[in-house]
Structure 1
Amino acid sequence: MRKFYGLLLALLVALAGRAQTSSNLAYYLPQTVTYNPAIPTPAAVLGYEVGEWHVSHDQLVTYMRAVDAASDRVTITEYARTHEHRPLLLLTITSPDNQRNITQIKADHHRLTDPAASGQLDVSRMPAVFWMGYSVHGNEPSGTNASLLAVYYLAAAQGPAIDEVLRNTVVLVDPSINPDGLARHSGWVNARRSKNLVADPANLEQNEAWPGGRFNHYWFDLNRDWLPLQHPESRGRLRQFHDWKPNLLTDHHEMGTNSTFFFQPGVPSRKHPLTPARNFELTQKIGAYHARALDKLGSLYFTEENYDDFYYGKGSTYPDVNGAVGILFEQASSRGHAQESVNGIVRFPFTIRNQVATTLSSIEAVQALRVDLLNYQREFYQQAAREARGQGVRAYVFGADQDPARAYELARVIRQHQIAVYRPKSALKLNGTTYAPDQAYVVPTDQPQFRLIQAMFEERTTFQDSIFYDISAWTLPRAFGLATAAVTKDPAGGLLGPRLDSVSFPTGRVLGDKTAYAYAFSWQGYYAPRALNTLLARKLVVKVASEPFFIGARKMDYGSILVPVGLQTMPADSLYALMQRVATANGLDVVGITTGLSAQGLKLGSVNFVTLKKPEIMLLAGPGVSPTDVGEAWHLLDERFGMTPSLVAPETLDRLNLDRYTVIVASDGTYASISASAREKLRTWVQRGNTLLALGKGAKWLADNGLSTTRFKAGGPVPAAPETALAPGATSTVPAVGPAPVSPAPAPPGRARPAPATVAGANPLPQRPYVGMRNTASAQEISGAIFHARLDLTHPLGYGYTSPDVFLFRDHTVFMERAASPYANPLMYTARPLASGFISRANEAKLRNSAAVDIVDVGAGRIISLVDNPNFRAFWYGTNKLFLNSIFFGQLMRASPAPAGE
């Protein structure tokens, strides 16, 4: 019935649009072929020509379904729904014969990635799989609008050439990777489009309101989520990726209006060492096809500059660690429908045409290099298998015996990447840590995804280059705050227990019955804050232990939560049922206590059990605030912990009654819109006993504007010597905290790290080539690395942590001074802070032994400054609790003893 309805729709739109079938298609598409009139053109469905308006997501879906209904070359899969419930589509386009044989084609591609089976395949007879992805950033719309034309061409073009393409290729089209962002952007520019196009860069149409259309619903950059998989868009897409095992993936983006067009490869020295050299060679060969296509159009372009291929969480780089070739395209953006630039007026149709041209050149390259690409994928996995057997690490173990939920969350991510995960066969003691068989996980390295496993677990401090387009480290066990160890003995020798085809959320339970005097649970569980929020939302009296106590032989550590039954208005039976639901939902053991007289430690009536208030949270969100940072906080509280933060524009503080809030979060930002009177209002609000929590440059803004006394170190370092190439075989490195679990491959010559800065009054800096100035400055950035800090476990900020060793993610050069009070900095960087990633020597010197957190008393309240983002990209589980503790237990935190009577 669906197919019949779709055919009828396609017929109607084709007839209605027959008069306008190709009035501008010649601008975009080859006219050397004929086009099947039964396939609707984009204009026939949309009612306008491609490029006249920005296609909305609902229009895009309507067109794709119309083509699906009209063509036997096309099938559609809805692979996920966004946070805003928009469908994500993947179109499979190939010959009708291939469509009928699609199950076998998929199976053969899976065998191609299996070293034990791939040698039996005759790749000369296999079709290549080519994935085309468009506009992961919603306000980079030329890609999505180009997908309309790409799909039309593949469905409608006729002749021997297209028949050969479809016989030899399965083309997968992801026409809108970020529907929520696209909807936000298209709505903005279309609503502000003038009949006579305005190209002024200051025009409202070309300047979206904050946060813009780049991001998804929670303001995340989905192009960084291919590895951590924290969003439904990414999880659904990855299932399709591994269902198909593509040979080539293209990723269509936009960049600044004054640029031209970029295609990969990027800077040769900036690819990840785990990516084979053959990948770069194939990328160069494919690039020749793009060059010819753009030469024919007269479009300017560049390659092997600016961009890299290092972080495997990006859409064009993830394929490189999965036996495929990923290609990034970047088109200068019109942002609206036209915009002035140094290269003349950039018009929206022109940006679309370049994306279409490189789509078609990619198809041409796949035809010419099909066997090469298939052989490369087979050889990638065969070589990875040899490397896995030849290196020293046989498996990685990770776990958290006091918090199985965090270990579960990491295991769940790893399984989605088609990596086998096991339980240990028996308890393991490694590097002083015991890994219990029901709490820990084992990842053997001898499996097809060996290189991806290395990328997930390695701690790398050796690099060929010191400049990174994105982050330089992402070691997943560090991100999740888990104990981890590399195992050098053969897993087959008794290490491996049962293989986990799926992982299960930890089982929670209530220990005790309805006659309990009180209930208690540890704060060590990752989802303990969600449990607490549930109880506080039900208006229960809930207390937190500021010192340890015991329930029989069970130690309840700092931060444990106590629910006294006798203080509640809820009947005991109802409370027991609620505690059962809370335990199950959050994977916690809730202990029923039969007496207030604990064997050791605090007694349950002690004043050291502090009654908690439900936090009422404001997240400052608007111009001047980093959308990604505040979005990460919003996502954490709303999506993961069931809380209800208010998103408030900073410029409205003057008009608001702040008394309804107990916590205000100032994420990384500049806050220029907050007036002097609003700053005073904020200070008064804090003085009344509330918590102002500031992150990154938000903390510095508070200090610069006299709201806090937190001190920061002087600005970034100035290199004292010119950068020079390292000697052949040398490496650029900074000492790490302990050895890397995987020895990095020797790096070829690269860029040396600048020497420390000179001091005032010293000899002037030596002359250096002007051409290297930008690279010299870029080498002083901290693009993203992992650093070791020490946490006071007795401090409310440290509640729930079982080890003082905390690994922070840092992507900035804001350095905080230590405070005069010995209690104001409960989290400090170590003397050797670098754990993984790149940092210049001068920046590392500033970071050593500096404060990571500073607490300032302001009357009865406090300002808590976290210099680093504890919620980075939603996968830094290991530091989320620093943020949550600041929210729930800020009322307990002071930098010095409170005055009497306060």
Structure 2
Amino acid sequence: MINPARSILETTVSFFIFITFCSSSMGQDPYFFYQKTNFDQSIPTPEEYLGYSVGTHHTRHDQIVSYFKALDESSEKVSFQEIGRTYEHRPLIVLTITSQENHQKLDEIRRQHLELCDPKQTSPDVSKMPIIIHLGYNVHGNEPSSSEAAMLTAYYLAAAQSDEVKNYLDKAIIFIDPVFNPDGRDRHSNWANMHKGSPLVSDPLDREHNEVWPGGRTNHYWYDLNRDWLPLAHVESKARIEFFHQWLPNVLTDFHEMGTNNTYFFEPTKPFGSENPVVPRDNYDKLNSLLAKYFVKALDNIGSLYFTKEVFDNSYPGYGSTYPDIHGGLGLVFEQASSRGHLQKSSTGELSFRFTIRNHFTSSLATVEGAVAEKDVFLQHQRDFFTSAITESRKNPVKGYVFGDLHDQNRNKAFLDLLLRHRIDCYEVPQTLRLNGKTFEKGSAFIVPTEQAQYRMVRTMFEKVTQFHDSIFYDASAWALVYAYGLPFESLTGKSLDFGKKVIRENLSGIDAEVRKSKYAYLIDWKDYYAPNALNHLLKAEIVVKAAFKPLNIKLNDGSTKDFGYGTLMIPAIQEKVDSETLYKTLLEVARESKVKIFSVETGFSNTGIDLGSGNFRTIKVPKVIMPIGEGVSSYEAGEVWHLLDSKVGMPVTKVDLVDFGWVDLHDYSTLVMVSGSYSLFDDKMVERIKEWVKAGGTLVTLRAATSWAINKKIVDEKLRKKEASEEEPKRLDYVSAGNVRGADQIGGSIYATDLDITHPLGFGYSNRELAIYRNSKVILEPSKNPFSTVIKYTKDPLISGYISKGNLDQLKNSASLIVSSLGRGKVILFADNPNFRGTWYGTNKLFLNALFFGEHIRTP
């Protein structure tokens, strides 16, 4: 934030003087490069290359990429590489800056650094090793100042000829990742540039400062990539984690923006309350504030106000500023007041884009300065971190975790892929194990030992936590992803474990695509995670597919018998629009693409359960899904639906802005999905249209706040659970405690136990009634009056992991998570929770997909 000692007039005049100066000279801009430093004139400044002064225009991602390539071409101290591509095919890039000598032996330096992090290797002399610094920027696309700062930082380190910079490059390998989120950045940059006025308009109400929905914060699928370092749902995160583990940096920065009326934040974060439970104490006592004095000195020097130890936390391991802490490094979050455009009024004056850039540029250089000065501390900490991981693991009574679902190899492999991307060692079970009433069979179960370098990441994936220093969470308070994947698992105790073959990612191939020809019928087990994908592709190919509404056991054409559960797909060979050979080729292609097993039978007579000609096999139609989006609708939840259907099912979803929804003929669609939102643009007439459409046979699916909306609009006769009013006299509390008291009453993201009716069409594909649910809202449903309509119910003691206040927990007990309500010939499917959370809740995705495929077949007794 602007120094209040400077008047608004001084700030504005100085701003335009600098613009004029830079526009005319196209050299080093003194607003940023105020120190007396000689620069290599053969290396282009950002201004020279771009044709405008930094901060006078929002730089597109392709221009940043081109400039970084130009630095590579003009300096022997710089190398450019592409590490991946976004969904919109923008390159993800990293610039490496170090001395020429270091450049010539990068492979050797990387090998030595990884040996430092390997407890099995002899400890090297850290005083002779360079520190690894990763400067990362712009994970939220509409927080754009940091990418501009990244260009200035890259230029400064490449071109400055001072002894100070030479020392940096001799003692550090510096990576600059200028844009974590290229798709979101360009969405915002184009918005800001196309609405920029001349003269600039600082009024916060101006269109430049107010993006249309969904804004540039998120990636292509409207996901927050700063929550994706752990779940790795997206291509950007997968590429970034792959690069991260190639180097395991000692310091990694994560630059952000916050509200315009704030100042500047740097670490340390809030002590104790914001800390991750698996990170060693010395990370916070020794490292977290180690660089603060360098930030203080640098920001004091330019007169910028700042604050520390408040608001922001480092607990959730999916943050870019927390993930490095679980790998022996230091993640650093910076937050800058945002101009949300080029110039905006704030409570202390006019805040310019250039000012925001200068703060992040200043902190970038201070990070390098401090990291190099303290390099031996960082390197030794990282060595000690991984060594202590082995020591701590040996003291832990839990020696490993075994997991695996006998009925769903695709979900097993998806979780294995996640673990391996995080460099967690996994092994096949050498023989069938029976633990705590659960059977883990050889061939479909795996062991993750705790005694390994990634011990703390193993704990992150499997441990449940219910005790906390604080009750205020910036984001989730639970993240054990084994629950997200819905996999049976148990901890292993004992002195030693027997391991089978080590699992490597290259061996996580798809299911055997061999399909035996049949003259009668083919079957697909709906328990397979990718069975909905197979069903969708078959329906698009106009193949007749029926689903079993009761289980059966039948003889296969290889002579064996198999149990098939609720939802099993049956493709009759003699009732198709296509000939048997075309059908077979289609099934073979689907098996390969969808990674599902397709079984062949030569009889319709089952050993037990329903026969294939039973009326309990019902023909499934192609769902035609429509989803309202726009202002007032959660872009996160809408993006999660879109991403799920795109990436996991291959099903199109029609996304229509609320302002255009009045033109929609709902009868062209089978299913209306409404995610959380206020839906204030839906007047009484639109509500009535939706009700009439449902009565005519449509299926309405609502998530979280949309469920509250449907109940409040009396579309269904269901009830929200309300807290009972207390007759006691209200407590008197100190004003300063209000934030903590109110914050503790929120449900910020935790995991709960529920009971699922696996015989209900919405529960098809599940073999266990116990189901872990992720909850991050206070939408609490009363169970339905109809005894057959409450599909999922919270248990009487539901908390598995995470924080929840006692009052909220008491209210949640025995409430409903999923209800089906009849309306005429149609159905309203009410989710109190979000089954698609952050693209990683594989364990609950099928509930939502069942609603799409089977919703019209639900018969409420």
Structure 1 length-normalised TM: 0.91
Q: Which residue of 2 aligns with 1:817?
A: 782
Q: 1:531 maps to which residue?
A: 534
Structure 1 CA distance for aligned equivalents of residues 682 and 393 of structure 2: 56
Equivalence map 1:364-403=2 (5 Å):
364-403=369-408
Specify the code of the residue in structure 1 equivalent to 2:314. D
Specify the alignment match of 1:116 in structure 2. 120
Q: Of 717, 730, 745, which residue of structure 2 is paired with 1:765?
A: 730
Supply the distance in 1 between the matched residues of 2:605 and 2:85 (Cα, whole angstroms). 52
SS in 2 for 1:394: strand
Cα offset for 1:20? 5.0
Task: State whether residues 510 and 579 of structure 1, in contact with CA within 8 Å, keep that contact through their aligned partners in structure 2.
Answer: no
Distance 1:18 1:39, change over 3 A: farther
Q: Which of these residues, 428, 433, 439, is aligned with residue 433 of structure 2?
A: 428
Quick one: distance in 1 between partners of 2:58 and 2:22?
22
Contact 2:718 2:784 survives alignment (8 Å): yes
Name the SS for the 1:524 alignment partner. Answer: coil
Equivalent residue letter for 2:683: S
Secondary structure of 2:655's counterpart equals: strand
Q: Which residue of 1 aligns with 2:106?
A: 102
Show the counterpart of 2:128.
Answer: 125
Does residue 308 of the first structure (1) align with residue 316 of the second (2)? Answer: no
Q: Which residue number in structure 2 is paired with residue 497 of structure 1?
A: 501
Q: Show the 5 A alignment for 1:337-416.
A: 337-416=342-421
CA–CA separation in structure 2 for the residues paired with 1:652 and 1:687: 23
**1:689-700 to 2 correspondence within 5 Å?**
689-700=697-708
Q: Do the aligned partners of 2:261 and 2:348 also contact (CA within 8 Å) in 1?
A: yes
Uncovered stretches (5+) of structure 1, i.e. residues with no partner? 1-16, 716-756, 898-902
Contact map agreement 1:651 1:674 (CA 8 A) in 2: no
Cα drift, residue 822 of structure 1:
0.3
Equivalent pairs: percent with the same residue?
41
- 1:598 is aligned to 2:601: no
Aligned partners of 2:135 and 2:177 also within 8 Å: yes
Instruction: Report the Cα distance in structure 2 between the residues aligned to 1:516 and 1:588, rounded to whole angstroms.
Output: 20
**Match 1:846 to one of 793, 811, 835:** 811
2:22 touches 2:53 (CA, 8 Å); kept in 1? no
Q: Is the 8 A contact 1:412 1:503 kept in 2?
A: no
Choose which of 239, 244, 262 in structure 1 pairs with 2:242: 239
Counterpart CA distance in 1 for 2:23 and 2:566 is 75
1:563 to 557, 564, 571: 571
Q: CA deviation at 1:490?
A: 4.2
**8 A Cα contact 2:542 2:577, kept in partner:** no
1:820 is paired with a residue of what secondary structure?
Answer: coil
Deviation at 1:630, TM superposition (A): 0.6
For 1:692-719, what per-residue CA distance to the aligned partner results, in whole angstroms no more than 9, with x for missing partners?
000000111111112222211226xxxx
Partner of 1:786: 751
1:58 maps to a residue whose letter is D
Cα distance, 1:519 vs structure 2: 0.9
1:155 and 2:158 correspond? yes
SS across alignment from 1:28: coil
Q: Tell me which of 835, 845, 849 is aligned to 1:880.
A: 845
**1:309–1:317 contact (8 Å) kept in structure 2:** yes
AA in 2 matched with 1:60:
I
Q: What amino acid sits opposite 1:256 in the alignment?
A: G
Describe the SS at the equivalent of 2:448: strand
| Matches of 1:617 and 1:113, distance apart in 2 | 49
2:366 aligned partner, one-letter code: S
| 1:753-798 deviation digits (Å, cap 9, x = unpaired) | xxxx8x4322x12322111111110001111000111011110011
Tell me, yes or no, if structure 1 residue 827 matches structure 2 residue 827.
Answer: no
Q: 1:892 aligned to 848, 857, 861, which one?
A: 857
What is the CA–CA distance in structure 1 between the aligned matches of 2:379 and 2:567, rounded to whole Å?
Answer: 55
Any conservation in 1 of the 2:553–2:562 contact (CA below 8 Å)? yes
Give the superposed CA RMSD.
1.5
- Structure 2 length normalisation: TM-score? 0.95
**2:693 is equivalent to residue 685 of structure 1:** yes
Kindly provide the amino acid, as one letter, of the partner of residue 370 in structure 2.
Answer: A
Q: What is the CA deviation profile of residues 407-457 of structure 1, one whole-angstrom value per residue up to 9, with x for unaligned ones?
A: 100100110111111111111111122212211121111111111111111
Alpha-carbon distance in structure 2 between the residues aligned to 1:161 and 1:364: 9
1:609 corresponds in structure 2 to 617
CA distance in 1: counterparts of 2:858 and 2:493, whole angstroms: 44
Letter in 1 for 2:803: F
Residue aligned with 1:35, SS: coil
Q: What secondary structure is seen at the aligned counterpart in 1 of 2:501?
A: strand
The aligned counterpart of 1:554 is 562
Distance 1:885 1:349, change over 3 A: same
Aligned partner of 1:733 in structure 2 is none
Equivalent residue number for residue 638 of structure 1: 646
Partner of 2:254: 251
Q: Partners in 1 of 2:83 and 2:74 — Cα distance?
A: 21
Change (3 A) 1:218 1:292: same
TM-superposed CA distance for 1:594, in Å, is 1.0
Could you say if the C-alpha distance between residues 693 and 336 of structure 1 is closer, same or farther in structure 2, counting changes exceeding 3 Å? same
Match of 1:37 in 2: 41
Pick from 473, 483, 487 the counterpart of residue 488 of structure 2. 483
Measured after TM superposition, the shift of residue 598 of structure 1 is 2.2
1:83 match:
87
Q: Does 1:203 align with 2:211?
A: no
CA contact (8 A) 1:21 1:43 kept: no
Q: Secondary structure at the match of 1:264?
A: coil
Q: What is the Cα deviation at residue 495 of structure 1?
A: 3.6
Structure 2 counterpart of 1:754: none
Query: 2:549 and 2:439 mapped to 1: Cα distance?
Result: 27
The alpha-carbon distance between structure 1 residues 503 and 774, as it changes in their structure 2 partners (threshold 3 A), is: farther
How many Å apart are 1:488 and its aligned residue? 1.0
Distance 2:244 2:441 in 1: 34
Q: Is the 2:519–2:574 Cα contact (8 Å) retained in structure 1? A: no
8 Å contact kept, 1:544–1:611? yes
Matched, 1:141 2:134: no
Report the equivalent of 2:448. 443
Kindly tell me the number of residue pairs found equivalent between the two proteins. 834
SS in 2 for 1:497: coil
Name the residue aligned to 2:18: none
CA deviation after TM superposition for structure 1 residue 256, in Å: 0.7
| Match in the other structure for 1:68 | 72
Give me the whole-angstrom Cα distance separating, in 1, the residues matched to 2:22 and 2:197: 28
The match for 1:224 is 227
SS in 1 for 2:608: coil
1:852-863 aligned within 5 A: 852-863=817-828
What secondary structure, in the 3-state scheme, does the structure 2 residue paired with 1:236 have? Answer: helix
Give 1:273 deviation, angstroms.
2.2
Q: Is the 8 A contact 1:529 1:641 kept in 2?
A: yes
2:735, 2:183 → 1: CA distance?
Answer: 43
Question: What SS is found at the alignment partner of 2:585?
Answer: helix
Deviations 1:489-542 (A, max 9, x none): 345x534334435441342445532x4211111100000000000111111211
Alpha carbons 2:425, 2:502 under 8 Å: kept? no
User: Which whole-Å deviations, capped at 9, do the CAs of 1:328-370 have from their partners, x for residues lacking one?
Assistant: 0000000111111112211100000000110111111012101
Aligned 8 A contact 2:796 2:813 in 1: yes
Distance 2:620 2:495 in 1: 50
User: Could you say what secondary structure the match of 1:826 adopts?
Assistant: strand
Aligned to 2:62: 58
1: distance between equivalents of 2:809 and 2:22? 66
Q: Distance in 2 between matches of 1:550 and 1:143?
A: 60
Q: For the Cα contact (< 8 Å) 1:405–1:587, is it kept in 2?
A: yes
In the TM superposition, what is the alpha-carbon distance from 1:268 to its structure 2 partner?
A: 0.3
Q: Secondary structure at the match of 2:291?
A: helix
**Pair 1:677–1:285, CA change in 2 (3 A):** same
Query: Equivalent residue of 1:308, what SS?
Result: coil
